[in-house]
Amino acid sequence: MDVVPPESLLAFTVAAVVLIVIPGPSVLFTIGRALALGRMGGLLSVLGNALGLLPIIGLVALGVGGIVAQSIVLFTIVKVAGALYLMFLGVQAIRHRNRAAEAAVSGALPRSHWRQLGEGFIVGITNPKTIAFFVAVLPQFVDLSSGSVPLQMIELGLVFFVIALISDAVWALVAASARTWFGKSPKRIAALSATGGGLMIGLGGILLFTGNRH
C-alpha cells in the first residue's frame, strides 16, 4: 500500500505539531496581517499561505524541491523574492494604515478577498524555509517498503498542511481579537495596521539577511 506506516505518521505528526506551534516566520506573518487587516484579512492570509504549501509539497515529492534546495542560485532567488514581497506588503500596510482604519470603522473591506488570499499564497510559495524543511524532514519518515515514495511524501505534506492551517488560524483569531479589543478608534486601528506592517518588514529583513541555504 502506498501509505505512510502508522508509527511513522504518528511520529511525523508529533514533530510537525512541535515545530508549527513554536512561533516562527509563519506566525509573525499571520499576526502582522491580522493586525493590519483584521480577522477576515488574517484568516484569508492564513489560507493563502497554507495553499502556497501545496505546490511545494508536490515539487518536493517529485524531487524538484531537492534541486532548488541544493542550488545556491535558485534557492537565493526564492529567498530574496519572498523576503522582498513580505517587506512590500509591510510597506503597503503602513502607507495605507489610515485607509484601513476608516474601513474598519465603517465596516468596509480595504481590499478584495481574492487579493488577500493571493498575497498569502505568494508568501507561502516563496518561503525558502518551507522548501528546506520538506526536503530535509519528509524523507526521514518515508518507508521504502510501503510503496510509492512520492505518494508518502505528499501524504506527510498534507498532514503538515492541515496542522499549519489550524495553528495559524488560531494565531490570526487571537491577533484579530486584540485588534478588536482596541476598539473602533481610527487612530488606534491605524497604529495597529502600522504595527502589523512593521512586523512584516522586520520579518522580511530577517529572512533576507540571516541564514543560508543549509
For range 1-21, the mean pLDDT: 81
The count of structural domains within the chain is 1
Nearest alpha-carbon partner for 196 in 115, 129, 53, 100: 100
Residue 214 inside a domain? The answer is no
Residue 35 inside a domain? The answer is yes
Residue 130 inside a domain? The answer is yes
Residue 34 inside a domain? The answer is yes
Nearest alpha-carbon partner for 36 in 82, 73, 75, 91: 91
Nearest alpha-carbon partner for 48 in 157, 109, 121, 155: 121
Q: Determine which helix (DSSP H) or strand (DSSP E) holds 144, and give its type and residue range.
A: none
Handedness of CA 143, 145, 146, 151 (dihedral sign): positive
% pLDDT > 90, the chain: 17
Residue 18 inside a domain? The answer is no
Residue 92 inside a domain? The answer is yes
Range of the domain at 113: 27-209
Q: For residue range 87-122, what is the model confidence (pLDDT) as tens digits? A: 887 787 787 667 665 655 444 445 578 888 998 898
Q: Which three cell numbers stand for residue 129?
A: 524555509
Q: Which three cell numbers stand for residue 166?
A: 489550524
Q: For residue range 134-179, what is the model confidence (pLDDT) as tens digits? A: 887 777 788 777 777 788 889 999 999 999 999 999 999 988 887 7
Residue 172 inside a domain? The answer is yes
Residue 14 inside a domain? The answer is no
SS3 24: coil
More confident residue, 46 or 86: 46
**207 alpha-carbon distance from chain centroid:** 13
Concatenate the DSSP letters of all residues of 109-128 into one string. -SS-HHHHHHHHHHHHHT-H
Helix 53-62, helix 25-51: angle, nearest 10: 80
